């Protein structure tokens, strides 16, 4: 771990300058953060849209990755089909119909699930839930 200064301010100092320099350092530290999430045997790189399972790359279609992203952001929350369809409808008005949703959930499950883990659970009559259990 590095302990050291990369900036300093001489006395007397203006509080506005101190606050601005703090903001610059915070911005710099946020840029270095990778948007990666690890869940059990999954590693999800949201910035590069890459999914790895047991360190093997799992290839997802754009819709499958968007669906996974919605599930991850709403982990342990039951999502109805209507909510999922609404969230998958993008700004270019590319429509995802119910059959496409069902197909993509099925394909995503086949890529994520194995005998040791089942991530996407069906809540019959209600919708779906992403869970780590």
DSSP string, 27-90: HHHHHT---EEEETTEEEETTTTEEEETTEEE---HHHHHHHHHHHHTTTS-EEHHHHHHHHS-
DSSP label of 125: T
- Domains in the chain, please, with CATH? 60-130 (1.10.10.10)
In this predicted model, which residue has the larger pLDDT, 11 or 27? Answer: 11
| Residues 60-81: tens digit of each pLDDT | 999 899 999 999 999 999 999 8
CA pair distance 20, 48, nearest whole angstrom: 31
pLDDT of 93 above 90: no
pLDDT at 89: 77
- Note the pLDDT tens digit of each residue in 23-65: 877 777 665 556 888 988 899 998 889 999 998 999 999 989 9
Instruction: State yes or no: pLDDT of 88 exceeds 60.
Output: yes
Q: Is the pTM of this model over 0.75?
A: no
| Virtual torsion, Cα 31, 32, 33, 38, nearest 10 deg | 140
Longest dimension (CA), the chain: 67
**Mean pLDDT, residues 127-131:** 92
């Amino acid at each position: 771990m590095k302990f050291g200064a990369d900036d300093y301010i001489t006395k007397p100092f203006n509080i506005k300058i101190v606050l601005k320099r703090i903001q610059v350092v915070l911005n710099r530290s946020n840029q270095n953060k990778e948007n990666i999430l690890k869940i059990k045997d999954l590693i999800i790189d949201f910035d590069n849209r890459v999914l790895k399972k047991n360190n093997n790359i799992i290839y997802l279609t754009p819709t499958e990755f968007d669906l996974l992203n919605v599930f991850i952001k709403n982990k342990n929350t039951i999502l109805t089909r209507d909510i999922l369809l609404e969230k998958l409808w993008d700004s270019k008005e590319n429509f995802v119909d119910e059959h496409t949703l069902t197909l993509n959930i099925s394909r995503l499950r086949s890529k994520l699930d194995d005998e040791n883990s089942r991530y996407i659970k069906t809540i019959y009559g209600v919708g779906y839930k992403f869970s780590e259990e």
